[in-house]
Amino acid sequence: MSVQSSNSNIYFHLGTVFIILSIAASFFLLTVIWETFTENATNNSLFDDYYTNFQDFTGRHVISICCTWGEELADDELTFMIREDRDDSNNQDSVSTQNRDSSMRKNEAVYDAIEEWDLRIEGLTFREVQSRYDADIEIKFRKGESEIAGLTRNFFDRYGLITKSFVTIYDREFPFGFNNDQIEQIAKHEIGHVLGLGHANFDNSLMATRPHPGSGTISDCEIQAVYEANHWKLKNQGSSTDNQINHPNTQYLECNSNV
């Protein structure tokens, strides 16, 4: 009887320990899941600063600066992929064929927008990739009747550095669709957000909250603002980089009135 009682006690204690460990492991797992969920929920950002108070800059032209890329920019390039509306494929071969056949006009306008940013930003190259999982930037067209022409959502790591960007360009049905120049201008504007820019408080800027005729070109001030946003990596005029990842030193960049 004593042996059986002793064995029963051992099994009881082992069972108790197992239950306690199971509860602890479950609690730890739920904590990790919750932290991951809340981090993903909070560490993404839409450029919704349409109502930013620029009163402190009355009479001055400024572009707001949001944020900077992290280690994804360390190799001097950002990768991108153009996707079809409602396409969840991971195979760029099929997507690209469909894009270039059925949406050649729209995609070429996006390529032109990316190419101009690529040429204007010293120390940065945009490279198209085959897989969306290799893409730092995903760009897609979506049919919509919204007043919004384009939308950029940046995702951040726990340090507040950009890790991924999603760009959506809202196209409209004929005869209200955008022409090539308008699509290119929208794409340039959204890529500006991808590169860490907010909006400008003056009309003749590419980063104005509303597109205006003549604001479709990338100005020197917008280039300088990108350098300021990603100063840790991109070579700025008159200064050098130390390649130590840092957040932007300023939230705004003042432009000359003739930009």
Do 162 and 226 lie in one domain? The reply is: yes
* Residue 165 near residue 137 (C-beta atoms within 8 A): yes
Do 193 and 251 lie in one domain? The reply is: yes
Do 93 and 12 lie in one domain? The reply is: no
Q: Which amino acid is at 112?
A: D
pLDDT for 60: 83
Q: With the CA atoms of 110, 96, 124 and 119 taken in that order, what torsion angle do they form, in degrees rounded to the nearest 10?
A: -50
Tens digit of each residue's pLDDT (9 = 90 or more) over 83-115: 876 555 554 444 444 444 447 888 999 999 999
Last residue of a domain, one of 11, 27, 42: 42
E strand residue ranges, the chain: 44-46, 61-65, 77-83, 125-128, 137-143, 150-156, 162-171, 197-200, 252-255
Do 151 and 219 lie in one domain? The reply is: yes
Do 227 and 115 lie in one domain? The reply is: yes
Do 143 and 80 lie in one domain? The reply is: yes
Write the CB contacts of 30 (distance below 8 Å, at least 6 apart in sequence).
none
* Residues of the domain holding 8: 1-42
Write the CB contacts of 250 (distance below 8 Å, at least 6 apart in sequence).
65, 228
pLDDT for 136: 98
Do 122 and 183 lie in one domain? The reply is: yes
How distant is the alpha carbon of residue 60 from its chain centre?
28
> Tokens for 111?
């390529």
pLDDT for 36: 38
pLDDT for 92: 45
197-200, strands of its sheet edge to edge: 197-200, 61-65, 252-255
Give, in order, the Cα–Cα distances in Å from 2 to each of 14, 41, 248, 250.
18, 58, 73, 77
Do 201 and 222 lie in one domain? The reply is: yes
Write the CB contacts of 46 (distance below 8 Å, at least 6 apart in sequence).
151, 152, 153
Last residue of a domain, one of 27, 42, 57: 42
Of 205, 172, 213, 207, nearest in space to 191 by CA: 207
pLDDT for 28: 46
Count of domains forming the chain:
2
pLDDT for 196: 96
Rounded to the nearest 5°, which phi and psi values hold at 121?
Answer: -95, 115
Looking at residue 13, what DSSP letter applies? H
Do 50 and 177 lie in one domain? The reply is: yes
Do 51 and 36 lie in one domain? The reply is: no
Do 143 and 236 lie in one domain? The reply is: yes
Q: Which amino acid is at 65?
A: I
> Parallel, antiparallel, or unpaired for β 162-171 and 61-65?
unpaired
The enclosing domain of 227 has a CATH number of: 3.40.390.10
Do 26 and 52 lie in one domain? The reply is: no
pLDDT for 178: 83
- The pLDDT tens digits along the chain (259 residues) read 444 555 566 666 666 766 776 666 554 444 433 443 334 434 555 555 544 556 566 678 999 999 999 999 999 999 999 987 655 555 444 444 444 444 788 899 999 999 999 999 999 999 999 899 999 999 999 887 667 889 999 999 999 999 999 999 988 765 567 888 899 999 999 999 999 999 998 888 999 988 777 678 899 999 999 999 999 998 654 455 557 888 999 999 999 755 4
